[in-house]
Structure 1
Amino acid sequence: MKLLDSTAKGVYLITVTPFTDTGALDLPSTDRMVDFCLDKGVTGLTILGIMGEASKLSAEESLQYTQRVLARVDGRVPVIVGVSSPGFASMGELTRSVMDAGASGVMVAPPSTVRTDDQIAAYFDMVNETLGPQVPWCLQDHPVSTGVQMSTGVILRILKNSPICVMLKHEDWPGLAKLSAIRAASDKGELRRVSILTGNGGGLFLPEELTRGADGAMTGFAWPEMMVDVVAAHARGDVERAHDLFDAYLPLARYEQQAGIGLAVRKHLLQQRGVIASAFVRKPGPKLSPQDLADLDRLVRRQDARLRALG
């Protein structure tokens, strides 16, 4: 597996973790999900993220799932593994295991216990020490889930102090100004250029983020082809086409981003598409109401009609 580097671009899809109806890991669905993602043209995969229910997996399950994904991918695309943890022993152990299994790099978000810029910077100094000089990593900035506000200044400080941090997963909201400032710093030569992939609101600002200098997307959606096609259209200079495609998917993408039920929505839609066998979400997790299901049926029908009209 090729190691992650700062030239990464395209769509690194954040995957769900498939379970059976009884809550066990569903490895056959995992294989099917990997095949589905690759068939839709994703550039890479990111697993064991927040929407992958990483915090609900045991250490043994995390490694078993990672090994299954890597075996199915078989080196065709890079795979990034989330290893965020308040404790560095568990972070280091999981990192060594997944890198030995063939991962391309790891992703780390700050724990909720760090608050000031100095605390945040010191934490990531320890991340560098824990991962070592050979493991490329992605800095995840997702204050909605972590509760940690990383200013533009502290992100620049982390990147300057972390030569093996090759990617920023930009998920602050609102975050367009931050994205512009970080990209401007590298354009001016104040910072080495790193890959910036966006996951803001599940891609709800993707066209604008691409215009601001993002290299692609790292987020999840039950229609990964949306992100693939939008990023490709934007890259070839057809910005209006990128916006038209994005607009067609936006109502369903917005519905999927509801706090509380978003993961259940995504898993339901993936089950409907035949990707996973069960929409089971481990506790604590939401269940969809009959009204939710009716909303989704309507939105899918309208999306299909809009896409047919766009050709």
Structure 2
Amino acid sequence: MLDETARGVFTIAATPFLPDGAVDFDSIDSLTDAYLRLGATGLTILGMMGEAGKLSAGESEAIVRRVTGRAGVPVVVGVSAPGFAAMKALADTSMQAGAAGVMVAPPPSLRTDEQILGYYHNVAETLGDIPFVLQDFPLATGVQIPVRVILQIVRDCPTCVMLKHEDWPGLEKITALRRAGEAGDRRISILCGNGGMYLLEEMLRGADGAMTGFAYPEMMAQVVAACEAGETDRARDIFDAYMPMIRYEAQPGLGLAIRKYSLAERGFIAHPVVRRPGAGLSRDAMQEIDTLAARQAMRLQALDL
């Protein structure tokens, strides 16, 4: 079961599709194997990058069973839904299939601190003893969750064991949460997203690792390991080598298509298909990614990685 001590890299998994839009279960297997081979200590599925909103309930359950049956590491399942009944159904199915916990993002309708707090009280009550991750991603949800509200959720909801930190800018939030933990508040795991854009600084601020879908998960594993070993300069060298690709992936509206193209080029999935509705890549964009990948390989060779 997921708990407050979780550390490392919980790679956000893409959902592979066939050219006709059907779920590509063979590529789920190969992608899962690749993530683990490249250093993932856990996986997160059916998140925003997993195109969860485009899946049927049956497809979601089938994907959960496929990944949990293969991974051999803790699997977190995104169960965000407009209603609590759907959230509960997928959460129960996921835990029965062997998931370690679930992740819940706030709905865009929440406007006040009291509404946010009340919502997560209801989440905790709905999920029962299932441990959950609070996803803090205001750029996508439009919901700003202040530090004091996060701390109150953690105090009131013992099953909230992790924060997926994706505020931007958000480094001060990590510092404030860690200081609160030092002052006596319950310390929960903090894993960070944003495509790895700020992973180095996030680790130095006290994060426990990464939870994002950058197409080169080995970067996250290597940076986290170097930071935990106190090898900050090496962590910086590794991070800098990948930064141009991280920056390119961060393009709003195209990030998923870019990641899927890279995953397909690396042989991890068979097709770079983004399920409709979704953006595709032009030939020019593909050439830009290929150039970035080639130059990245040269930098890594110079670092002997």
Q: TM-score, normalised by structure 2?
A: 0.99
Residue number among 274, 282, 294 corresponding to 1:301 in the alignment:
294
Residue number among 4, 10, 13 corresponding to 1:12 in the alignment:
10
- Residue 284 of structure 1: CA displacement? 1.4
- Residue 202 of structure 2 corresponds to residue 198 of structure 1: no
- Residue 186 of structure 2 corresponds to residue 188 of structure 1: no
- Residue 85 of structure 1: CA displacement? 1.1
Counterpart in the other structure of 1:176: 171
Letter in 2 for 1:196: I
- Residue 130 of structure 2 corresponds to residue 139 of structure 1: no
Residue number among 169, 183, 200 corresponding to 1:207 in the alignment:
200
- Aligned alpha-carbon RMSD (Å): 0.6
Rounded to whole Å, the distance in 2 between the matches of 1:287 and 1:197 is: 29
Letter in 1 for 2:114: D
Rounded to whole Å, the distance in 1 between the matches of 2:146 and 2:266 is: 39
Rounded to whole Å, the distance in 1 between the matches of 2:251 and 2:154 is: 31
- Residue 188 of structure 1: CA displacement? 1.2
Letter in 2 for 1:65: I
- 1:59-78 to 2 correspondence within 5 Å? 59-73=57-71, 76-78=72-74
- 1:84-95 to 2 correspondence within 5 Å? 84-95=80-91
Counterpart in the other structure of 2:49: 51
C-alpha deviations, 1:15-67, integer Å up to 9, x for none? 00000011000000000011111111211000000010000000000000110
C-alpha deviations, 1:219-277, integer Å up to 9, x for none? 01111000000000010000010010000001001111110110000000000000000
**Secondary structure class of the residue paired with 1:51:** coil
- Residue 291 of structure 1: CA displacement? 1.2
- Residue 288 of structure 1: CA displacement? 0.4
- Residue 159 of structure 1: CA displacement? 1.0
**Secondary structure class of the residue paired with 1:99:** helix
- 1:243-258 to 2 correspondence within 5 Å? 243-258=236-251
**Secondary structure class of the residue paired with 1:52:** coil
Letter in 2 for 1:277: A
Letter in 2 for 1:241: R
**Secondary structure class of the residue paired with 1:279:** coil
Residue number among 230, 236, 239 corresponding to 1:237 in the alignment:
230
- Residue 86 of structure 1: CA displacement? 2.0
C-alpha deviations, 1:98-149, integer Å up to 9, x for none? 10110000000100011100000000010011000x2111100000111101
Percent identity over the alignment is 57
Letter in 2 for 1:97: T
Counterpart in the other structure of 2:210: 217
Counterpart in the other structure of 2:267: 274
Residue number among 278, 282, 291 corresponding to 1:289 in the alignment:
282
Corresponding pairs, count = 304
Letter in 1 for 2:64: T
Q: TM-score, normalised by structure 1?
A: 0.97
- Residue 158 of structure 1: CA displacement? 1.0
Letter in 2 for 1:211: L
Residue number among 29, 35, 38 corresponding to 2:36 in the alignment:
38
Rounded to whole Å, the distance in 1 between the matches of 2:108 and 2:28 is: 30
